Amino acid sequence: MKKTWKTCLLTASLAAFAFAPQAALAQAPAQHSKKANARKSATNQAVYNQAIAAVQKGDYATAFKILEPLAKKGDATAQHNLAVLYQDGLGTTADAKQALHWYEKAAAQGEPEAQFMAGLMYSDGIGTAQDYKKAAQWYEKAAQKGHAEAQNNLAARYATGTGVTRDMAKAKYWYGKAAAQGNKQAAYTLQQLEALEKNNGSLKTQMLNEAQKTLPNKK
């Protein structure tokens, strides 16, 4: 099932900052010392807390002003959330191109939800020309990181040959991965595919048996 172009509430997304910064900062250049990274993490955490407080007050303009500098400095979590603000027009003018730009920035650093959203936007042609190949590429990256909706969407691409070479084995694999995480659409589709394969197998056997009846009797 295709997710509509609407992310979860920004408050929920920003609330994740309390847990996400260190993971995001793990993407920092290797030459930085652990001590420097620790200082950066503490500093960014304090900034994230300010953004969360602004969002909780409904002050998205302030949240935008807080996040934009961090995003420009390469912080993946800030880039992702800045994309959400641009996407939904919170604290700034809605801008699909800017949303995609920042989703891709975060996605390039391995942020799975951003990878999924980039795939969704390329798939739907939002903020960019429709490009099923790029959509599949981003879905695959997110799917590899365990993103259930990306796994479901990637499976659909393999099942239909949209942006990728049609491959039912891969389609079933990714539907299975998504279903294992509780994605109901993936579970239903996988069940239907397996039933279809079973029925086709029975039909082929029946047709073979009927065909054999027309053969001359062996003596």
> What token pair was written down for 187?
């579970």
| Cα–Cα distance measured from residue 172 to residue 4, given in angstroms and rounded to the nearest whole number | 23
Looking at the chain, list the stretches that DSSP marks H as alpha helix, in order from N- to C-terminal side.
10-15, 21-25, 34-56, 60-72, 76-88, 96-108, 112-124, 132-144, 148-160, 168-180, 184-213
pLDDT band at 194, cuts 50/70/90? confident
User: If you search the block for the tokens 């002003």, which residue do you land on?
Assistant: 65
Does the structure show a pLDDT above 80 at 64?
Answer: yes
- What pLDDT is attached to residue 192? 87
Q: What average pLDDT does the chain have?
A: 79
* Spatial CB neighbours of 100, under 8 Å, sequence gap ≥ 6: 83, 118, 121, 122, 126, 127, 128
- What pLDDT is attached to residue 6? 38
Radius of gyration of the chain (CA): 23
**pLDDT tens digits, one per residue of 100-136:** 999 999 999 999 999 999 999 999 999 999 999 999 9
Q: According to the per-residue pLDDT averaged within each range, which of 10-19, 73-82, 101-110 is highest?
A: 101-110
Does the structure show a pLDDT above 50 at 27?
Answer: no
**pLDDT tens digits, one per residue of 150-168:** 999 999 999 999 999 999 9
8 A C-beta contact, residue 173 and residue 140: no
Name the residue type at position 208: L
| Cα–Cα distance measured from residue 163 to residue 137, given in angstroms and rounded to the nearest whole number | 9
Does the structure show a pLDDT above 90 at 90?
Answer: yes
Buried b (16+ CB within 10 A) or exposed e, 149-171: bbbbbbbbbbbeeebbeeeeebb
Average of pLDDT values for 53-74? Answer: 93
8 A C-beta contact, residue 144 and residue 162: no
pLDDT band at 73, cuts 50/70/90? very high
Average of pLDDT values for 183-202? Answer: 84
| Cα–Cα distance measured from residue 191 to residue 197, given in angstroms and rounded to the nearest whole number | 10
Average of pLDDT values for 19-42? Answer: 40
- What pLDDT is attached to residue 162? 92
Domains of the chain from N-terminus onward: 42-109 (1.25.40.10), 130-213 (1.25.40.10)
- What pLDDT is attached to residue 136? 97
Average of pLDDT values for 19-44? Answer: 43
* Spatial CB neighbours of 178, under 8 Å, sequence gap ≥ 6: 148, 149, 151, 152, 155, 185, 186, 187
- What pLDDT is attached to residue 48? 83
- What pLDDT is attached to residue 200? 72
| Cα–Cα distance measured from residue 110 to residue 100, given in angstroms and rounded to the nearest whole number | 15
Does the structure show a pLDDT above 60 at 15?
Answer: no
- What pLDDT is attached to residue 206? 56
> Residues of the chain with pLDDT > 90: what percent?
58
Nearest in space to 79 (alpha carbons), one of 98, 55, 52: 98
